[in-house]
Structure 1
Amino acid sequence: MDKPVVTALSAVTLATADMARATRFYDALGFALRYGGAASEFTSYAIGAAYLNLIAQAVPIAWWGRVIFHVSDVDAMYRLALDAGYAPHAPPADAPWGERYFHITDPDGHELSFARPLSPAFAPP
């Protein structure tokens, strides 16, 4: 029997202590709401063929890692975050691994990275 191959990421689910606050953050950054919303226990945003889910949890959240989103224009996304009143960790930068990126932390402490490959050689398959 052939070994199975992971072919795609379907979704990432992040916990939030305050769904209304979390949805304001993601809405302000232009994420496309697919299901739920400010008054829901579960919310889902479409990200290309995948989803970013939010689930209401009262448990405190410790640092866990980072979600990386590829975007069409890193600098425009950075300006959108600034215009919404958010504080990214630093301005966009070109990384030695071949992406332009910046990081921001959502209201629940989840670290997000917005990136774009610098050349087709670094683009995902």
Structure 2
Amino acid sequence: MIEAISAVTLATHDMESAVRFYRSLGFDLLHGGETAAFSSFGAGPNYLNLIAQPEQRHWSWWGRLIFYVDDVDAMYERALRAGLEPSTLPRDAEWGERYFHLTDPDGHELSFARPLRGAA
């Protein structure tokens, strides 16, 4: 039986930019860093990892990684203050979450969300 997702690992062509991006959003760097081939961040009880890949390795849109945060609007404002450009404004969705989307420097789509009160 599957119990949980422990970690997600995303590829990057530029570890320095990727580490700066995730740190600017408040992710805690646990291992690695801007010059490492592999870096790991805390994401609640789980992990978000980055692994360096050569420029000749390409990827296309693969899906979206969703992070629950305590305050969607505060996270959106944090992203703006960091000079990032979210692809959507925060909004309430019909499926019962408030969210916004942001793309990392390597094209990985992220969503920052929170269940709406009273939503199942």
When the two structures are superposed, what TM-score results if normalisation uses the length of structure 2? 0.95
Question: What SS does the aligned partner of 1:54 have?
Answer: strand
Contact residue 61 and residue 108 of structure 1 kept, 8 A: no
Tell me which of 42, 58, 61 is aligned to 1:60. 58
Count of residue correspondences? 118
**Which residue in 1 is equivalent to 2:95?**
97
**Which residue in 1 is equivalent to 2:45?**
49
- Aligned AA (1:9): I
Q: Does 1:75 align with 2:69?
A: no
Contact residue 15 and residue 57 of structure 1 kept, 8 A: yes
* CA positional deviation for 1:110: 0.1
**Is there any run of 5+ residues in structure 2 with no aligned partner, and where?**
none
Percent identity between matched residues is 62
Q: Structure 2 vs 1, CA of residues 35 and 120 (structure 1 numbering), >3 Å: closer, same or farther? A: farther
Question: What SS does the aligned partner of 1:51 have?
Answer: strand
Counterparts of 1:6 and 1:77, CA distance in 2: 30
* CA positional deviation for 1:119: 2.2
When the two structures are superposed, what TM-score results if normalisation uses the length of structure 1? 0.91
- Aligned-pair RMSD on alpha carbons? 0.9
> Which runs of structure 1 show a deviation greater than 4 angstroms over 4 or more consecutive aligned residues?
none
1:102-121 equivalent positions in 2, closer than 5 A: 102-119=100-117, 121=119
Tell me which of 16, 23, 26 is aligned to 1:20. 16
Question: What SS does the aligned partner of 2:9 have?
Answer: strand
* CA positional deviation for 1:120: 5.5
- Aligned AA (1:36): G
